[in-house]
Amino acid sequence: MKRLTVLFLIPPFFLVSCGNKTQKETRVAQPKTESAINDTVPSDTHEEVPSAAIRLLKTLPVRDLPITDSTRFDDFEKIGIPDNGFLKRIQFNPEHTDAKNFRLNYTIPFSENFTSLVITYQSGEHELFTTLITLSKEDKIIDSLEIAYDEIAESAFAKSSSIEKNKIIITDWNWMTGEPHVDERRTYAVQQNGKFEIQLTETD
């Protein structure tokens, strides 16, 4: 009988021990819950966008100040690179609904606080607009300013700009009389936050 008692005591102990081991292994093998995965994976999927933008902008030429921009139809396709969707990602909305043939021309080293990008696009077949855009570090548009214009319907109007460290002078030209005439000249200050503030307007 003693032998039988010993034999009956061993299996329960063995089963308890095995049960504990099984429970421990089950806890270790449990998959992560959705909340646990969210805690370990960054939720901000937009972090890749600035990196892609930075890589793209670094392929553009950097023009040192001072700069004169008088981009025309006969040379605009020789500057920069065609836009591949970057302007859509930063939500640039041109004023002209028939805008096309967007190009990223060059960047300007105004400040380390923001990026300054010059772009060109056509409106229809006869107008060409060149715009300076300032972007935050999150690739949000801070401000924009039209700095050059050309038209080939009458070849009578144009716009050019002189860009310096802290100011931009934009001149509207008129050839209706045959000789170039200045319709208006505006001076803008470049603010530390990337905004353009008009300082002076002159007309002839």
- Residue 171: the pLDDT is 98
Q: Flag the least confident range among 7-11, 94-98, 112-116.
A: 7-11
HSE, CB side, 13 Å, CA atoms: give it for residue 162: 6
Is the pTM here over 0.85, yes or no? no
Residue whose tokens read 């990602």? 89
- Determine the distance from the C-alpha atom of residue 78 to the mean position of all C-alpha atoms in its chain, rounded to a whole number: 22
Cis-peptide into 50, omega within 30 deg = no
pLDDT in tens, 40-84: 334 444 444 445 677 788 899 999 999 999 999 999 999 899 999
SS3 assignment, position 125: coil
- Whether residue 88 contacts residue 121, with contact meaning beta carbons closer than 8 Å, is answered with no
Q: Provide mean pLDDT across the span 82-110.
A: 94
- Residue 163: the pLDDT is 98
Q: Which positions ≥6 away from 46 have C-beta within 8 Å? A: none
SS3 assignment, position 190: strand
